[in-house]
Amino acid sequence: MTTMTSRQFSHDTSAAKRAARTAPVFVTTRGRVTHVLLSVEDYHPAPTRRVSALESLAAGDGIDLMEFIGPRLVDSPRSLDLT
């Protein structure tokens, strides 16, 4: 993580760009972070393919559903006051 003041950023933008290739650069104004400079790869990460639950189950790489016994949920009824 690199932090630069807004004055440093305006005087040496190239250094900020170089630093942003490896990690986000935080730009501060009066001691408060006001901007973050990111590389385009960090801003738009590589897309990942979403797998549906059906595809995951069909692939057989999960646990067998018949083996799973979860805790029994006990939800006691509560009286409802509509006043």
Q: Which 3 state secondary structure label does DSSP give 25?
A: strand
More confident residue, 67 or 49: 49
Is the domain 2-43 a CATH 3.30.980.20 member? no
User: Does pLDDT of 48 surpass 80?
Assistant: no
The per-residue pLDDT for range 8-25, each reduced to its tens digit, is 999 999 999 999 999 999
Average pLDDT in the chain: 83
- Asked if 27 contacts 4 with a C-beta cutoff of 8 angstroms, the reply is yes
**Separation of alpha carbons 59 and 62, rounded Å:** 8
Which pTM value belongs to this model? Answer: 0.55
Identify the pLDDT of residue 52.
77
Instruction: Please state the rounded mean pLDDT for residues 77-83.
Output: 76
